[in-house]
Amino acid sequence: MTDWINGQLPAKETIGRAFRVENRMYPEVSIRELTANMIIHQDFEERGFPMVEIYADRVEISNPGLPLIAPERFIDEYVSRNEKMADLMRRANMCEEKGTGMDKVIANNERYRLPAVRVLVDDIRTTITIFAYQKLSEMSRKDKVNACYQHCCLRYIQNEKMTNQSLRERFEVEEKNYPMISRIIKETIENGLIKEEDPENKAKRYSRYIPFWG
């Protein structure tokens, strides 16, 4: 199924010295993990079915049922609605270990320089959206804040801390433009998603940040 999905997604072919190389728009690992989660976390008591929708600028992967944990904690928490199915798929190497799927999705999205993963929970469905590449200037304020939060979470679970520099590297922003990144960090703090590791530190350019739950 993931091979078929990847086959429908846009890709760009580059010609090297000897071989043609296909560069996909979306990380294959992200598609695999989210597709596996779509199956594992579906609620069989709800009407509907897991679904993958492919658009020109995004891929939406959804399943019936509401999440058992807050979407903000997808990266560090794990609760499976169908544990036997999850265990079977892990033993078959169809998905990663408990709690590692979403952080791999976010890590690969950052490697591809994609916008933040978006989670939408409505009355009966949970939808996760991966967006195609966008420049920082093209992202909405909400997407910038979400990307900052997800980057901070990813650094934290890797036993590292987010800094202005690490977020600049995530967004491919030059050092001279660090005030632009500082504004994104400030807005993410104001949204209650991250906090300073050491509030007493006055040198904001060198501050370190952790998720609100850290």
Cβ partners under 8 Å of residue 89, min gap 6: 36, 39, 40, 95
Q: DSSP string of 149-163?
A: HHHHHHHHHTT--EE
Predicted TM-score (pTM) of this structure: 0.89
Residue 57 is predicted with a pLDDT of: 93
- Boundary (domain end) residue, out of 131, 148, 171: 131
Q: Do residues 111 and 33 share a domain?
A: yes
CATH number at residue 43: 3.30.565.60
Residue 199 is predicted with a pLDDT of: 84
Q: Do residues 11 and 67 share a domain?
A: yes
Distance CA 131, CA 58 (A): 4
- 99-120 pLDDT per residue, tens: 578 889 999 999 999 999 999 9
Distance CA 184, CA 163 (A): 12
Q: Do residues 183 and 93 share a domain?
A: no
Residue 7 is predicted with a pLDDT of: 87
CATH number at residue 145: 1.10.10
Q: Do residues 79 and 38 share a domain?
A: yes
pLDDT averaged over 10-residue windows placed end to end, the chain, 214 residues: 88 62 83 91 92 95 94 85 84 70 91 95 95 94 97 95 96 92 96 93 81 94
Q: Do residues 21 and 122 share a domain?
A: yes
Cβ partners under 8 Å of residue 152, min gap 6: 162, 188, 193, 194, 209, 210, 211
Domain count, the chain: 2
Structural domain range at position 38? 2-131
Distance CA 174, CA 184 (A): 15
Q: Do residues 9 and 109 share a domain?
A: yes
